[in-house]
Structure 1
Amino acid sequence: MDHSPSLSAPARRTRRIVIAGLAILGAAILGVAIAAFGPVDAVLKILSMPMHRPVWHVWVGTFNGVALITVAALPLAALSVWALARRRRATGVTSAWRMSLAEVGIVYGTVPWVWMIMLPGDEAGAVVSPVPLRDLLTMDTGQVVGNLLVFAALGFFAPLRFTALASLPRILALGAGCSVLVEVAQYVLHLDRVSSVDDVLLNASGAGLAALASRPWWRATATSPSGRS
């Protein structure tokens, strides 16, 4: 009896997850660069700016430095996925590649965004904007897209890694909760930024949209025997 079709189905699903995961990480990296630098044609030029001033503050305290570190850390992220997957496969863990990619993807695709929005802004003190949709009307396209991408990697990968989060309402709640924590931290730490309810709405929406993009895979995982266990 030929079992190759049933054996190749998980492999095909894993390959699709990996490809889609790399796409969402690529979008996150591109979004970080565009948010930091503006037009795409200026990315390479501005990425090299921290190299001319190798001061720690330029590397960790500016959008340019964070974006450059993010790009430079890509090979390390890929190596981490490979090492985790290899270790899991050696111990007989199923879905080793999916789990490893999801874990690294959550960290790699989220930390740079949180890092950037926790840098000091240019507002005169801590500002709170609690009225929904007021700030949204004044945001440009880059700000809207950037806010949607902040927790996009979290929304995409979290349901793939944690079966308990394989639900759109839970991902929306997770994205909103994480965004609220960031906005509160901006206010408490006096980072001269606007703590806006619209940022929370956009961050949660971005996580939800990313979860919908990965929904075919985490739905299949959640309903499989291994997913239920």
Structure 2
Amino acid sequence: MSRLRWIVIAGLVLLGTGAYLVRRPLLMAAPRCLGGHWHGCYDTENGVVLMTLAGLPLAALLVSALAWGRRAAGVTDPWRRSVAEVGVVYGTVPFVWLTLMPGPGAGIVPGRLSLVPLRDLVTMGPLGIGGNLLIFAAAGFFAPMRFAALATVPRILALGAGCSALVEIAQYVLQLDRVSSVDDVLVNAAGAALAGLASRRWWRGRDGAPTGDLAPGVPV
């Protein structure tokens, strides 16, 4: 079994363990989510996390469908491409949704800026720093596996910083009752870069071939 597959399995185990540890708050949102209600599900952190976890089997099916279709068409390295594409989207959108979730004063409280580097970092706490590291971690991990143009640490940093800056600008312009902080951008970018380094073995080379030790076209 390939190393990448072991990493995917380990990630799923960690997700399952984390979901079990916080099962009680997640289950509080279950009735609203299962009933198809937007309020109380998709506008709450518990609801978004619950639905993200519940949707993992569908994401796995999508990966399989894309990979099988590409293999039938003779596309090189179909599994790696499919895992990377689905992983970028599925691992990023829920986190961005959470960061754009409006606060109680949304639309009333003016946008707030914090442009002094490292000033907010000391007030984030371990949970805040960990959450900010994860927001664009999936993009940093999977994007260079799919696109050779992103297969360098500086470019992954730029990708994370650029995406984070867009989110912070949206928070400010839309008056979501959140603080648009330069420290969020720095930590988001760092998270993307660290995740990219974790997947470096499988980055795509300049010729489009994977840089790892797996042969093209072999499922991973």
By the TM > 0.5 criterion, same fold?
yes
Match of 2:163 among 178, 182, 191: 178
Q: Per-residue CA shift, 1:141-187, capped at 9, x if unaligned?
A: 00000000000000000000001111110000000000000000000
What residue in structure 2 maps to residue 199 of structure 1?
Answer: 184
Looking at structure 1, the residues matched to 12 and 196 of structure 2 have their Cα atoms a distance apart, in angstroms, of 14
Asked whether the equivalents of residues 61 and 119 of structure 1 are also in contact (C-alpha less than 8 Å), the reply is yes
Calculate percent identity across the aligned residue pairs. Answer: 58
Alpha-carbon distance in 2 for matches of 1:27, 1:131: 35
The corresponding residue for 2:218 is none
* Aligned amino acid, residue 68 of structure 1: L
- 1:141-152 aligned at under 5 Å gives the runs 141-152=126-137
Match of 1:195, SS state, is strand
1:69 aligns to what? Answer: 51
Query: Counterpart of 2:42?
Result: 60
Give, in angstroms, the shift of residue 19 of structure 1: 3.0
Structure 2 residue corresponding to 1:209, chosen from 168, 178, 194? 194
SS of 2:195 mapped into structure 1: helix
1:133 aligns with 2:114: no
TM-score between the two structures when normalised by the length of structure 1: 0.82
Say which SS state the counterpart of residue 222 (structure 1) adopts.
coil
User: Alpha-carbon deviation of 1:201?
Assistant: 0.2
Counterpart in 1 of 2:5? 18
Alignment-mate amino acid for residue 71 of structure 2: R
Written as runs of structure 1 = structure 2, the 5 A alignment for 1:144-163 is 144-163=129-148
Please give the root-mean-square deviation of Cα atoms over the aligned residues, in Å. Answer: 2.3
Structure whose residues are more often helix by fraction: 1
Partners of 2:67 and 2:206 in 1: CA distance = 22
Q: Equivalent residue for 1:8?
A: none
2:68 is aligned, of 86, 98, 102, to: 86
Rounded Cα–Cα distance in structure 2 between residues aligned with 1:104 and 1:171: 18
Q: What displacement does 1:24 show? A: 5.0
How many Å apart are 1:127 and its aligned residue? 1.2
- Give the 3 Å change call, closer, same or farther, for CA 201–176 of structure 1 in structure 2: same
Question: In the aligned structure 2, how far is the partner of 1:136 from the partner of 1:207?
Answer: 17
> Under a length normalisation based on structure 2, what TM-score does the superposition of the two structures give?
0.85
> Do the aligned residues in 2 keep the contact of 1:150 with 1:206 (CA within 8 Å)?
yes
Could you tell me which amino acid in structure 1 is paired with residue 130 of structure 2?
A: V
Deviates more, 1:138-147 or 1:119-128: 119-128
Structure 2 residue 34 is the aligned partner of structure 1 residue 51: no
Alignment match, 2:99: 117
